[in-house]
Every structure is written in C-alpha cells, then in structure tokens.
Amino acid sequence: MNPEQAYQELLQRARERALISSVNSVLGWDQEVNMPPKGAAWRAEQSAYLSGLAHSKATAPEINELLLSVEESDLVDDPLSDVAVNVREWRRGYDRATKLPTEFVEEFARTASLAQHVWAEARAKSDFSLYAPKLSELIELTRRKADYFGYEDQPYDALLDEFEPGEKTENVKRLFEGLRAELVPFLQSIVNAPKQPDFSIVEDRDYPVERQRILGEMASAAYGLDYASARLDVSTHPFSTNFGPGDQRITTRFDPRNFGDSFFSILHETGHALYEQNLPVEFFGTPRGDAVSLGIHESQSRTWENLVGRSRAFWRHFFPITRQMFPQTLADVSLDDFHFAINAVKPGFIRVDADEVTYNLHIMLRFEIEQAIINEDLPVEEIPGVWNELFKAYLGLDVPEDRLGVLQDIHWSFGAIGYFPTYALGNLYGAQFFAQARKDLPDLDASFAAGDFAPLLNWLREHIHQHGMRYRAQALVQVTTGQPLSHKPLMSYLKEKYSKLYELA
Ligand code: ZN
C-alpha cells in the first residue's frame, strides 16, 4: 500500500471511531437528561460495549503499519499540514492506547467503578477513612499507569499529558506559583474591603424558571450559538456534548431563587458548544477537526461565561432585558448593584461554586496534593490534613469537615489524577487570548454593549477554532498572542476589574 492509500485508510478508520464514540455520546447525554433510573444497568452494558469496540478499533495492529507508511513518506514534510497534524495525533493516541495492557485497563476500570460508590458513601457520611483504602488502590494503579506511559522528568508529567498534551508539571508549577503570589494578597484586600456587594439580589430572590430559560437561550443565541444545531436541556450537573456535525447539546439546572447558577452555567456550556460548532466540519472525526485540549476547551467556556458574561458591557445590554423579564424582582436594583452582585467574591469551601478570583486557588491546592501523591509518595491518610492546611493558607478558611474539603470532587474516584490543572490553565489561556482580542478589536466593549458578539466570535474562529488540533495548546497561545502562556493577563484582568468593583486603593 502506498502512503497516500495508507492515509486514506487511516482517515476512514478514524471516521468510523468517531461514529462509534458519537453514538456513545448520545447514550451518555440521554443517561443524564432523560433516562429513568431502572435503565441504568442496561445503559452501562450499551456504553461499555461501544467503548470496548472503539478501543479495539483504536488499537488494531494494522494502524501501526499504516502510520509507519505515512510517517516515512514526504506526506508529512510540512509539520503543520492537515496530513501531518492528523498523523502526529493518531500516533500519540495509538501509542498511548497500546501502552496499557488490556488486563490493566480492565483492572483500572473495575477499581474506579467501585471507588466511585465508596466515594459517594464516604462523602455522604463525611468520613475520609471509608474512602482511603480504595483511593490507595487507585493511586497505586495510577502510578503504574504513569510508568506504562513513560515520562522524562517526573511521573506526574505522564498523567498531565493525558488531559493537556505536551504540558509539563514544572511549567504548571511556575505558572501557578506566579499567580498565587499575587492572588492570595489580592483576595485578602477584597475580603477586607469596606464596600461589599449584596449578592442576595441574584441568589435569593424570585426568578421564575421558564423566564430564566428564555433569557439564557436569548443570551446564548446572541453569542452565536445556532439553535438549529443545538439544544438546551436540564440535568443535575450542567455539561455540554457534541453528537457530530450540526448537533451540539448543552444542559443546565434551574433554581427558582437563584439567577446566577443557571444563567452562568448556560453561558459556560455555550462557550464549549461554540467551540465545537465552529471547528472545521470538513475534518470532523479527525484531529484536524478536533479540540486541542481540555485547557483550550475550558478557555472558550470561561471566556463566554466570565470575561464576556460578567462584564459591565454585557450587562449594559442585558440588564434592561433582564429587568423586563423579572420586573418585580429587580424593581429596586440598579445596573451597578446587579453587576456587583454577579461578581461577588466569597471564599467558600466548594470549588464548583467558586468565583473568578478564588477559583484558581481551589485548583492549585489540588495540583499540589496530586503531585505530592504521585511524585513524593504522600501517604493517603495524610491527604485531608494537607488539604486543610493549604486551604487555610490560600483561602483563609478552616475546613470543618471532609465533605466540604477533600471529599467534594468525584475526579480522583474515577482515577482522573492530572485533570484538575486544566481548569486553571483554561482560565489562563482564556485571559491571554481575550487580552489579544481586545488589542486587535479595540471596540469590543461597545459591541458587547450593543448586544453584538459577532466580532469576538469571529476572532475566536479565526485564531482558535478553525485550527482544530493543528497546534498544541502551548504553540497555539504563542502563535495567537506572540507570548508563551503567562499568569499576567489573568492577573491584570482580575486586578483591574475587582479593584474598581471593590473600590480598592
Ligand atoms: Zn467547562
């Protein structure tokens, strides 16, 4: 088979895998949105079957032969060509998938599935000791996984790389240390500021659910989400998923007394869906048409949720509409009060409820603990103590019980160690891209205030979405902004915005 034929064969196989995994996405979405509880067991069978099928297709030995044939040809001479990008990422995926022995993958899946049940029970009882033995097993397996994948500097690199290809522990450490050094004292000055918002305006007043839905859809459509190829539904935890060309799904949850929870979840998931909707459709099912990384995905959701959706310019347009929708609720509220309320900074225990200023501190402590677990053999029984100590140092609070501390997240229980940093990297990437967009488009605020978000979406399409996986995240930010990733754009954004809101000297 000549290299051109080999490439065509690889394309066809990639599209087949995309077909299988997109069917699995439909099942996963249905499970969260529609499925009656008694459907769970059979659904697990369906999903496991499709996952197994996709895995066996992804690890077929012929793929190696086909890849070698293209890799040794001149088809990949230009490393940024569509062929080279696809082959680079297929090689990465194939190597990673085949480095793990099948028995190991099964053992990992079995342990993780049991650990999730144990974690849920331990969290309900707020008793870490119930969880510790299973967590130890998972950590041991995760260390073995890092060894199977291999690494140059430290085992945590191999785990990080799974979620953020090419990222290095030392680089994340450098970024987080720079951010933390400025963020911790800045948070203190906000907490001590005499001027504080009345957040009950958005968290404890009447917001009829049907009207929340209409407003949320209106805002996401204004952002450019095409509802001819998207849908909003309700689930316990908001998420977004992509079924394929022309079908993106987002979910939220509604609380009739809390405006912010559902509205900003809709904007967040819209950001994810806009990325998927604007990836080059002609490359669907191949890396060239796929998202770069979890961090870059999160940069898109955070941009639309926070950098745009919590800006004053956005609310100059949307506050009058919001007040029309909830006339009694907001009769006594000004634009300034409302804008301050949706940007309230409140150090709290729960990561998913955290505001823009405190959120990254929640991630940093998880990152430090994960590194200590994987690289330095921190004993499992010492994790809650370290957690509480770091929490006090970063957020100034004493964690009263493990339910509000080390037991709050599901991630470790399914073996996802190395995942958390991508959330904070997303915030850093988002802020750096957005600072560049502002330079390129000086009238951005005026367009937001006029309800026109097309200039920003077009900028993101051109600089980020259209590339698919052409560039790894670290290269994408360099190409787009001329600089490597830094904590500075996020920190300047936070300082400027919150110094004004809290009237800090
Ligand atoms: Zn997200």
pLDDT tens track, the chain, 505 positions: 899 999 999 999 999 999 999 999 999 999 999 999 899 888 888 988 898 899 899 999 999 999 999 999 999 999 999 999 999 999 999 999 999 988 898 899 889 888 888 999 999 999 999 999 999 999 999 999 999 999 999 999 999 999 999 999 999 999 999 999 999 999 999 999 999 999 999 999 999 999 999 999 999 999 999 999 999 999 988 999 999 999 999 999 999 999 999 999 999 999 999 999 999 999 999 999 999 999 999 999 999 999 999 999 999 999 999 999 999 999 999 999 999 999 999 999 999 999 999 999 999 999 999 999 998 889 999 999 999 999 999 999 999 999 999 999 999 998 899 999 999 999 999 999 999 999 999 999 999 999 999 999 999 999 999 999 999 999 999 999 999 999 999 999 999 999 999 999 7
10 Rama class: left (phi>0) / alpha (psi -120 to 50) / beta: alpha
For residue 328, report the distance from its CA to the centre of ligand 1, in Å.
33
The interaxial angle of helices 169-191 and 359-376, nearest 10 deg, is 140
How far apart, in whole angstroms, are the C-alpha atoms of residue 285 and residue 90?
11
Helix or strand or coil: residue 231?
Answer: strand
For residue 237, report the distance from its CA to the centre of ligand 1, in Å.
11
pLDDT digits (tens, 9 = 90+) for 169-185: 999 999 999 999 999 99
For residue 457, report the distance from its CA to the centre of ligand 1, in Å.
18
For residue 1, report the distance from its CA to the centre of ligand 1, in Å.
42
For residue 126, report the distance from its CA to the centre of ligand 1, in Å.
27
How far apart, in whole angstroms, are the C-alpha atoms of residue 114 and residue 120?
10
Nearest to 139 by CA among 350, 364, 411: 411
For residue 137, report the distance from its CA to the centre of ligand 1, in Å.
29
For residue 282, report the distance from its CA to the centre of ligand 1, in Å.
25
51: amino acid identity, one letter? S
Q: What is the DSSP string of 417-449?
A: TT-THHHHHHHHHHHHHHHHHHHH-TTHHHHHH
For residue 302, report the distance from its CA to the centre of ligand 1, in Å.
7
Can you give the pLDDT at residue 1? 84
| Token pair in block for residue 113 | 């599935």
DSSP state of 242: E
For residue 434, report the distance from its CA to the centre of ligand 1, in Å.
17
The partner residues of 255 in beta bridges, in order of sequence, read 258
Q: What is the DSSP string of 29-77?
A: HHHHHT--GGGHHHHHHHHHHHHHHHHHHHT-HHHHHHHHHHHTSGGGS
pLDDT digits (tens, 9 = 90+) for 430-473: 999 999 999 999 999 999 999 999 999 999 999 999 999 999 99
Q: Are strands 230-234 and 240-244 parallel, antiparallel or unpaired?
A: unpaired
DSSP state of 255: B
For residue 265, report the distance from its CA to the centre of ligand 1, in Å.
9
For residue 342, report the distance from its CA to the centre of ligand 1, in Å.
19
User: How large is the C-alpha radius of gyration of the chain?
Assistant: 23
How far apart, in whole angstroms, are the C-alpha atoms of residue 290 and residue 281?
9
How far apart, in whole angstroms, are the C-alpha atoms of residue 379 and residue 139?
10
Which helix (H) or strand (E) segment holds residue 241: the answer is strand 240-244
| Token pair in block for residue 163 | 């979620």
Contact 42, 19 (CB under 8 A): no
* CB burial readout 90-119, b (16+ within 10 A) else e: bbebbebbbebeeeebeebeebbeebeebb
CA 243 and chain centroid, separation: 18
Question: pTM for the full model?
Answer: 0.96
Helix or strand or coil: residue 453?
Answer: coil
Residue 327: phi and psi, rounded to 5, are: -65, -40
For residue 144, report the distance from its CA to the centre of ligand 1, in Å.
29
Residue 293: phi and psi, rounded to 5, are: -170, 170
* Catalytically annotated residues: 269
* CB burial readout 314-339, b (16+ within 10 A) else e: bbbbbbeebbebbeebbeebeeeebb
On the 0-12 / 13-18 / 19+ scale of CB atoms within 10 A, 435 is: middle
> HSE on the CB side for 66, CA within 13 Å?
24
Q: What is the DSSP string of 156-172?
A: HHHHHHHHSTT--HHHH
DSSP state of 326: S
For residue 334, report the distance from its CA to the centre of ligand 1, in Å.
30
For residue 260, report the distance from its CA to the centre of ligand 1, in Å.
16
Contact 317, 446 (CB under 8 A): no
Query: What does the longest C-alpha to C-alpha distance in the chain come to?
Result: 74
How far apart, in whole angstroms, are the C-alpha atoms of residue 22 and residue 242?
7
Can you give the pLDDT at residue 306? 98
For residue 426, report the distance from its CA to the centre of ligand 1, in Å.
9
For residue 442, report the distance from its CA to the centre of ligand 1, in Å.
27
Contact 302, 271 (CB under 8 A): yes
Nearest to 347 by CA among 210, 495, 187: 187
Nearest to 266 by CA among 229, 296, 222: 222
CATH architecture of the domain formed by 169-501: Orthogonal Bundle (1.10)
Q: Integer distance in angstroms from the first to the last C-alpha of the chain?
A: 70
| Token pair in block for residue 87 | 């082959």
| Token pair in block for residue 455 | 């200039």
